[in-house]
Amino acid sequence: GNSVTQMEGPVTLSEEAFLTINCTYTATGYPSLFWYVQYPGEGLQLLLKATKADDKGSNKGFEATYRKETTSFHLEKGSVQVSDSAVYFCALSQYGNKLVFGAGTILRVKS
Amino acid sequence: NAGVMQNPRHLVRRRGQEARLRCSPMKGHSHVYWYRQLPEEGLKFMVYLQKENIIDESGMPKERFSAEFPKEGPSILRIQQVVRGDSAAYFCASSPDRAPGSVYGYTFGSGTRLTVV
């Protein structure tokens, strides 16, 4: 079946450091790929998405590129802020109405 | 425009009791999805409903769990005779249509944290 694997956290960085959170997936065909963010006490918010190979999703300084050859969708940001501290979820959707999530990665950014 | 509202935010139940979790979708959204997040795990799909219809319940446990989305009122996820393993965060999402790719229209609620003691 479809699955998503994310790097384990927590990831702790200093402000302005470079961020990478690894995400790989297993799926048949060509799923759509997503990154969601969950701030403390809130619901999940869509951060960015990509629908086909080589697409790059971007939002709020975060980027991720759909790499079919490596079945990956790694999340990157060049300079993190304290306000980026949250839980980040990688997810895929095969047929449009369900999401398959990774376990989530806690990011802590220290000033 | 209020988002997806879930209540209660926290719910404590003793083993054997019933838990009722409510989800009011965004205005204009007629599709509701329930996901469960067990400790240290990602969210897992449970059920997808439209008004008065269950569209996909492939992720629902076979026993003790049920869901409804009546013509009027919120969607309800009901867990009968709760056990400790039901302790989790339950998230609801809503979307405005059922076209392929409607995950793009997902809006998640803040979740209900169920603790079974």
A3: which strand partners? A26
A99 close to A93: Cβ distance less than 8 angstroms: yes
Pairwise pLDDT comparison (A4 vs B95), residue with the higher score: A4
B38 → chain A, closest CA residue: A103
What's at B12, amino acid-wise?
Answer: V
Q: What percent of chain B has pLDDT over 70?
A: 91
Q: What is the pLDDT of residue A95?
A: 76
- Residue of B55, B34, B64, B30 lying closest to B46 (CA atoms): B34
Q: Is B65 on the interface with A (CB under 8 A)?
A: no
Instruction: Calculate mean pLDDT across residues B104-111.
Output: 85
Match 């999340």 to its residue by tokens: A75
Q: Which of A54-63, B20-29, B42-51 has the highest mean predicted lDDT (pLDDT)? A: A54-63
B101 confidence band (pLDDT: 50, 70, 90): very low
| Residue B99 reports pLDDT greater than 60 | no
Residue A54 and residue A25 in contact, taking contact as beta carbons nearer than 8 Å: no
Mean pLDDT of A12-33: 95
Mean pLDDT throughout A94-105? 87
* Whether A32 contacts chain B with CB within 8 A: yes
The confidence score (pLDDT) of residue B61 equals 95
pLDDT for the residue B30:
86
Share of chain B above pLDDT 90, in %: 71
**Distance of alpha carbon A81 from the chain centroid:** 17
CB contact (8 A) between residue B45 and residue A99: yes
Is there a contact between B103 and A4 if contact means CB atoms under 8 Å apart? no
Q: Which residue of B has its CA nearest to A47?
A: B104
Asked whether the beta carbons of residue B100 and residue A100 sit closer than 8 angstroms, the reply is no
Helices and strands: H and E segment counts in chain B: 0, 11
State whether the Cα torsion A33-A29-A68-A13 is positive or negative: positive
Which of A43, A98, A104 is facing B110, going by the closest CB pair?
A43
Residue B1: per-residue pLDDT:
52
Q: Spell out a b/e string for B42-74, using b for 16 or more CB atoms within 10 Å of the CB, else e.
A: bbbbbbbbeeeeeeebebbeeeebebbbeeeeb
CA distance B25 to chain A (A): 13
Q: Does residue B105 have a pLDDT over 80?
A: no
Q: For residue B44, give how far its alpha carbon lies from the nearest alpha carbon of chain A (Å).
A: 7
Of A35-39, B19-23, B24-28, the poorest mean pLDDT is in B24-28
pLDDT in tens, A38-96: 998 888 899 999 999 999 999 999 999 999 999 999 999 999 999 999 999 999 998 77
Region B65-72 average pLDDT: 95
